[in-house]
Amino acid sequence: MSVTAPRGFEAAGVAAGLKATGKPDVAVVVNRGPLKTGAAVFTSNRAKANPILWSQQAIADGVVEAVVLNSGGANCFTGPFGFQTTHQTAERAAELLGVSAGDVLVCSTGLIGTGDEVFRAKVLAGTAEAIATLSADGGDDAAHAIMTTDTVAKTSTLAGDGWTIGGMAKGAGMLAPGLATMLVVLTTDAVLDAAQADAHLRAATRVSFDRLDSDGCMSTNDQVTLMASGASGVEPDPTAFRAALAEVCTSLAIQLQCDAEGASHDISIEVIHAASEDDAVEVGRSVARNNLFKAAVFGNDPNWGRVLAAIGTTGADFDPYAVDVSMNGVRVCSDGGPDRPRDEVDLTPRATHVLIDLKVGDASATVYTNDLTHDYVHENSAYAS
């Protein structure tokens, strides 16, 4: 049931005609309370879509009654008309739910730079239809309605000590951090105030969505929202709740990685013995964004020299001539030189693990990425056609 697994939530997903396929394209998730706590993190791209501009204002008071999401159109770079469309979407949902428009967040995903009266009419009609069909069993329908190039819906749930967390996500491309590069809705029936929700969400995204760097491209529409209904009546242990939320977010992030556009390898880049966590992330990300390395993995070539060349561009504290690199369990580089023969490395499985030992400290981090394939280039060259 994803976002409706926790008590106090209803959801729906409907087909409003935004997608040429006729598949569901408008989703609504509503918090029935008794608490209406909310927190959200957004893309740090300076080019922000109209729903981001609206939601950043709406979340300021830490109250969220509902989230309206549409696929089939990003409503980005559509001028004043586009912002009015987002505003009217929140107003329509608020009117039908009997709440304030300022407590309704809006999310959109799809092609940038398109939007007209027909688009607006379909979004508004879809919002009304979704609200009319809200149910405690509607989480899966909502998860399918936010898909674009996704091939599967992404959902996750986790039961805690008297409370539950649920989540849904969409994303199959433009997965790079800053702060969260996809659309995600998280729900919980735990008792949280706005400050707690914000702190837990930022801590969880930092070690999950922020570590997903599929293609190094940052979107304009990315938003992760957490809503807490308090319907369980349980105030969770902060440490346990934060760990559980991070687990749900990591599950969703891995699902996004595994559905990345055109990918044939899911690559986990684990950096150990770094001087700091920031150094570990910087090193891992430098490899994740290196097209030569990603192309080599696509060709099943354990070219560890490209790993060293990539990390040498960072400002992290390490000696490149002391680094070890292992690929799928085979140490191919030791102390900056050749170790085991390359032909011992099997890169034919989809799951690919790269271990980089910097040998300077105790910090570690893992960054998740994918290979660079012909299918990725084709899919993104024909995206708007």
Enzyme catalytic residues: 181
Strands, sheet with 37-42, edge to edge from the N-terminal-most edge strand: 37-42, 223-228, 183-188, 164-170, 154-159
Residue at 71: amino acid letter: S
Compute the distance between CA of residue 14 and CA of residue 367 in angstroms, rounded to an integer.
35
Handedness of CA 306, 307, 311, 312 (dihedral sign): negative
Give the DSSP H/E element, type plus range, for residue 106: strand 104-108
Q: Which amino acid, one-letter code, is at 68? A: V
DSSP string, 168-197: EEE-SS----SS--SEEEEEE-S---HHHH
Q: Nearest 5°: phi and psi at 319?
A: -105, 115
Report the candidate in 191, 151, 203 with the shortest Cα–Cα distance to residue 173.
151
Residues across the chain = 385
* Neighbouring C-beta atoms of residue 328, cutoff 10 Å: 17
Give the integer Cα–Cα distance in Å for 223 and 208: 14
Question: Cα–Cα distance between 372 and 207 in angstroms, integer?
Answer: 24
The Cα–Cα gap between 248 and 179 comes to: 17
Report yes or no: 50 and 86 within 8 Å, Cβ to Cβ.
yes
Contact 4, 166 (CB under 8 A): yes
